Amino acid sequence: MAAKVTLLELVNAVAEHARSEDETVATIIYMVNRGVVRLCGTFKGARFDVNVRTAA
Q: Is the pTM of this model over 0.75?
A: yes
Domain ranges of the chain: 3-43
Q: What is the per-residue pLDDT across 9-34, written as a single tens digit (0 to 9) for each?
A: 999 999 999 999 999 999 999 999 99
The three-state DSSP-derived secondary structure of 2-52 is CEEECHHHHHHHHHCCCCCHHHHHHHHHHHHHCCCEEECHHHCCCCCCCCC
Q: Which of residues 10 and 50 earns the better pLDDT score?
A: 10
